[in-house]
Each structure stands twice: as structure tokens, then as C-alpha cells.
Amino acid sequence: MTNRDGQIFLLLVFAVFLFAFPVSRISAQDDDTIIKVDSSTVMLNAAVFDSAGKAANGIKREQFSVFENGVQQTVSYFSAAETPFAAVILIDTSGSMESRITMARAAAINFLDGLRENDSVAVYRFASKVELVQEFSGSRDINESIYDIKADGMTALNDAVYKASEELKKRTEKRKAIIVLSDGADTFSGKSADKALKTAMEADSLIYTIDMSSIETNGKDRIQNQGALKNFSEKSGGKFVATPGGVALRQALKGIVDELGVQYTLGYEPLNQQKDGKWRAIEVRVSRPNLTIRTRKGYTAPK
């Protein structure tokens, strides 16, 4: 065999190897590059705050550590840049929201007012079913049909979160969020809360829940309803906001917009590659002292 024949043979062997054993990795050259990941890559959006509750800037990649079920992982993607986000606003328009529809509508408008260039938001309403109000766009105006919405029907909260998650899966933005404006009383969903939450995590989406329940709501019912909203926000790495109004509501929504823009995005490929369908707990740590980190609590491995 000549040297040339040997080189051709080696190239053929290498090509066959690549075909049989494809390499999956995250590729990101700059903040505008679309992240290409395989199905095993776990993406995390982490909000980091100092002791005063302000966003902590300037944290370096090497200062972050990610643990899965207590085992440290290798961070293969990191971004600390301000970047556009995609979000879905879910407005509860069920009968139980009759006295709060106006406030929920104002909250959605306030959120849109805070959008930056290249942010994209869709708006849905939900009662007994989930209905589109406005497609994804960067517009700060809301479809006028929202002013004709009346409170009526049952509450399909889980179905709404599931629908929003499915839509966000199609988006290429690195940061995604679901904003829920609801009293939290699910009475009609076909999907379970666990299914909706799992789908949100598959979309790498944070869930921010705004408690819109009336102060007249029975104490026991209110605690139960708030528990449903907290479950979505805490497990996904989002935030629960207690019943606000006026200035407090506007500030809460502005805070969410600001937070989404300055989060840290991390990605890793789990060392545990078993497809066992089990829950895996995630912990993110930062070496800088006196910081609070909010991100999702974990994910369910594929089967």
C-alpha cells in the first residue's frame, strides 16, 4: 500500500467513525449565535442577586459551579450578556376572576410597556379553554380584543401553562418565560400540574406567577391556590408575586422584564446519561459571597 493509499484509507475510517458516533456539543460564538444542543443538554437561566436584592453583575464563568444530584458537572456554555427573551403572558379570564379582570389586563399592558428591542411576547387568555389574544411580537401595544373579554367559565390553568410551554419550545431565544396572571384555582384542565411543569422545563422556560386572587377569598382556598402558583414558579426557577395592586404591580412586572434581560445562561451535558425517567436535582453555586441564586430545581431525565 502506498502512502497516498494509506492516507485515503485513514480518512475513510475517520468518516465512518464520525457517522457511527456523532459528537454533540453546544456552539455559541457570540450572543447572537443560535445555541445548537442535543436532547441531553441541560440549559439553565439563573438570576443572581446581592444582599440588597439587586441583580449581581460581573460574575465570571469560573465562579459558577453546577451540581446534578450532588455531582459537579462541566459547564459547556455560558453567557452573561444582556440578550432578548421570548415570553408568553397568560391571563386568567375565568368566572372567579370577575372582579380582577381589569387589573390583570392592566398588568399585561404594563409588562408589554417594558419590552426592549428584539424581545418577543405572545398573549393568551384562558378559562375553560386556552385562546390566543396576540401572536409573538415586539409590539408594546396589545390587541384591542382584550378589552372585550368578560370573566366566564372554568379555569384551565395547567392547560394554559402547557400550551405556552409548547409554543416557547419553538422559539430560538436563549431566555424564555411564562407570566401567569391568575387566582390559581385550576378547575378544568386536561393536563396535570406536573405535566405542565415538565413541559415548561423542557422549553427551558421560567414561570413567573402573579397572584390575582381577591382579598375576600376564603383563607384555606387562598393558601391552596397560592400553593399551585408557587409550585410552578419555585420549581421552574421563576418567581411568585403575592397579590399586588397599583404601583406595586407595575414595579413587580418591571422587575420581571429587567430580570429576564440580565440573567446568566449556563449549559451542561449531564455526566449521568442514563435514560431512566427519574427526577434529577440541580444546584447552582457561585464562589462570590452573600449572593442569592434563583434557577430551576431540576428536571426529569428522558426515558
Task: Convert the pLDDT of each residue in 138-192 to its tens digit.
Answer: 998 888 888 888 889 999 999 999 999 999 999 999 899 999 999 887 999 999 9
Q: Is the pLDDT of residue 219 over 70?
A: yes
Q: Where are the beta strands (DSSP E) in the chain?
A: 42-49, 64-68, 71-73, 75-79, 85-92, 120-126, 130-137, 175-182, 205-211, 240-241, 264-268, 279-286, 292-294, 298-300
Q: Which three cell numbers stand for residue 286?
A: 457561585
Q: Is the pLDDT of residue 3 over 70?
A: no
CATH of 28-81+262-300, one of 1.25.40, 2.30.30, 2.60.40, 1.20.1270: 2.60.40
Domain(s) labelled CATH 3.40.50.410 in the chain stretch across: 88-261
Report the chain's mean pLDDT, rounded to a whole number.
84
Percent of the chain with pLDDT over 70: 85
What's the pLDDT tens digit per position in 113-128? 989 889 999 999 999 9
Domain(s) labelled CATH 2.60.40 in the chain stretch across: 28-81+262-300
89 CB neighbour count, 10 Å cutoff: 27
**CATH architecture assignment, domain 88-261:** 3-Layer(aba) Sandwich (3.40)
Please give the pLDDT value at position 200: 96
| Rounded distance between C-alpha atoms, residue 102 and residue 100, angstroms | 6
Query: Pairing between strand 64-68 and 279-286?
Result: antiparallel
Q: Helix, strand, coil % (nearest 5) of the chain?
A: 35, 25, 40
| Rounded distance between C-alpha atoms, residue 16 and residue 23, angstroms | 13
Q: Is the dihedral of CA 160, 89, 78, 284 positive or negative?
A: negative
Asked if 207 and 238 count as a contact pair (C-beta separation under 8 A), the reply is yes
Alpha-carbon dihedral of residues 29, 30, 35, 40, nearest 10 degrees?
A: 60
| Rounded distance between C-alpha atoms, residue 32 and residue 52, angstroms | 31
What's the pLDDT tens digit per position in 126-139? 999 999 999 999 99
Q: How confident is the model at residue 39 (pLDDT cuts 50, 70, 90)?
A: low
Q: How confident is the model at residue 4 (pLDDT cuts 50, 70, 90)?
A: very low
Please give the pLDDT value at position 191: 96
Which helix (DSSP H) or strand (DSSP E) does residue 247 occupy? helix 246-262
Asked if 291 and 56 count as a contact pair (C-beta separation under 8 A), the reply is yes
**pTM, whole model, 2 decimals?**
0.81
Percent of the chain with pLDDT over 90: 57
- Partner residues linked to 71 by β-bridges: 68
Please give the pLDDT value at position 251: 84
Q: Using N-to-C axis directions, what is the helix angle for 101-113 and 246-262, rounded to 10°? A: 40
Q: Is the pLDDT of residue 47 over 90?
A: yes
Please give the pLDDT value at position 2: 52
Asked if 73 and 67 count as a contact pair (C-beta separation under 8 A), the reply is yes
How far is CA 175 from its chain centroid?
7
